[in-house]
Amino acid sequence: MKKSVRAYAQALLDLTQDASKKDIEFIVNNFLKELRDRHLISKVPAIISEFERLSDFADKIVKAQAISAHKLSKDILKEASLLVAKKTGAEEVVWEEIVDESVLGGIIIKAKDFIIDMSLANRVNGLTLKIKE
């Protein structure tokens, strides 16, 4: 029977959820041997990626991107974290900060399946469209 990447990742998560560090090392080594025996080593990166996604979901962690023209202050990221947490139910938001000068000002937030565009460039585009109407 062929199993999906998600099924392998879920199995690994279930096995390691409450295990000690020593047990996790043993479990992961056996897991990798099993994948090798099934000629599935090429699937390891995809399994790890899915494992991280499932683990984050279980721990109520959301990974998000903050795109802005300049590095953001801790206060702005804290406010953005509250917004993302409210929208997703997350208890923790892990940020990837991206500096993109084309944003001009403001911030674009990408998390899960939504985008919140509070950038100056977006506002300018909106005004331009209203003027053309």
User: Who has greater pLDDT, 54 or 133?
Assistant: 54
Structure tokens at 13: 């998560």
**Res 1: pLDDT:** 47
Strand, helix or coil for residue 63: strand
Other CB atoms within a 10 A radius of the CB of residue 125 amount to: 12
List the domain boundaries for the chain. Answer: 5-57, 60-132
75 membership: H or E segment, kind and range: helix 74-88
CA angle at 95 for the pair 94 and 99, rounded to the nearest 5°: 170
pLDDT of residue 47 exceeding 70, the answer is yes
Average pLDDT over residues 19-39: 93
**Res 2: pLDDT:** 62
Q: Pairing between strand 92-99 and 61-68?
A: parallel
Single pTM value for the model: 0.70
